[in-house]
Structure 1
Amino acid sequence: MKKTASLLVVLAALFTMSSTFSAEAPKFGADRHVAHGMACASCHGPDGKSPEYPDQETCLKCHQKDALIEKTKAIGPVNPHKAPHNGECTLCHLQHEAPVNYCAECHPQFKFNPN
């Protein structure tokens, strides 16, 4: 447990430092989570040596689906959080990489900004 806590402190420090070295560096979702006081274990589980890959259920523990649908209702032509085959948050919101407009892979007219 002590090693895991130490690892989480080091990872949080690295995320914080990486965002302060360059004002032009993109803010990834993981950076935003750390800025709000979340530890890596919140999404990746307690085992720092073998972290879990978060899925939609992980995200929905904090981000309520109905609230996301309401917040993004003006995005069009289709609300990406209410799309018929929406279901996995990490398809667009990668957290440790720049977000991706996954919808545009099949629907190039959907110009969503997944930030």
Structure 2
Amino acid sequence: MKLQNSSAKEKMSNQNLLKVLFLLSCLCLSLPSFSAGKLGADMHQAKGVQCQTCHGTDMKNPQYPTEETCTQCHQKAVLAEKTRNLPDANPHAAPHNGDCILCHLQHEKSENYCAQCHNFKFVVP
């Protein structure tokens, strides 16, 4: 009798655990993204920019965007002017500034690539 009771308690415990895991997964799926908003690719798409604009016409073999890809639409001088008053330094006018997608990842949350070597507290959109 004791063996059956122990087995029943274990079964009930497992069922409760499954219910809790299910509820937690539902909660996580309903939370907003941890990024500070939409990703760069989402913002481009919302403005009508097609994937092919940045990745080339062959979507079976998409190209990795380069700085030249970004500067077709985003002029570096304009970006440097927009960020000229940031504290510490202007990331768009840095002497070793180059590949836009080091910070602006587009399909992932952007990051402050400069922080790998510097203590700049940039928030990268």
Global fold match (TM > 0.5) = yes
Q: Which amino acid aligns with 1:102?
A: Y
Deviation at 1:76, TM superposition (A): 2.1
Identity %: 56
Which consecutive aligned stretches of 4+ in structure 1 deviate over 3 angstroms post-superposition? none
Q: Which residue pairs with 2:81 in the alignment?
A: 70
**Rg larger in structure:** 2
Is residue 44 of structure 1 aligned with residue 55 of structure 2? Answer: yes
* 1:82 aligned partner: 93
TM-score normalized by structure 2? 0.72
Match of 1:103 among 102, 111, 114: 114
Tell me the residue number matched to 2:72: 61
Structure 1: tracts of 5 or more residues without a match: 1-20
* Alignment of structure 1 residues 25-40 onto 2, 5 Å: 25=33, 26=35, 27-40=38-51
CA-based RMSD of the aligned residues comes to: 1.3
Report the counterpart of residue 113 of structure 1 in structure 2: 123
The one-letter code sitting in structure 1 at the alignment partner of 2:80 is I
If each structure's helix is expressed as a fraction of its own residues, which one has the higher value? 2
Q: CA deviation at 1:65?
A: 0.6
Equivalence for 1:24: 32
State the alpha-carbon separation in 1 of the partners of residues 64 and 99 from structure 2: 12
Which runs of no fewer than 5 residues in structure 2 stay unpaired?
Answer: 1-28
Q: Distance in 2 between matches of 1:89 and 1:96?
A: 13
TM-score, L = length of structure 1:
0.78
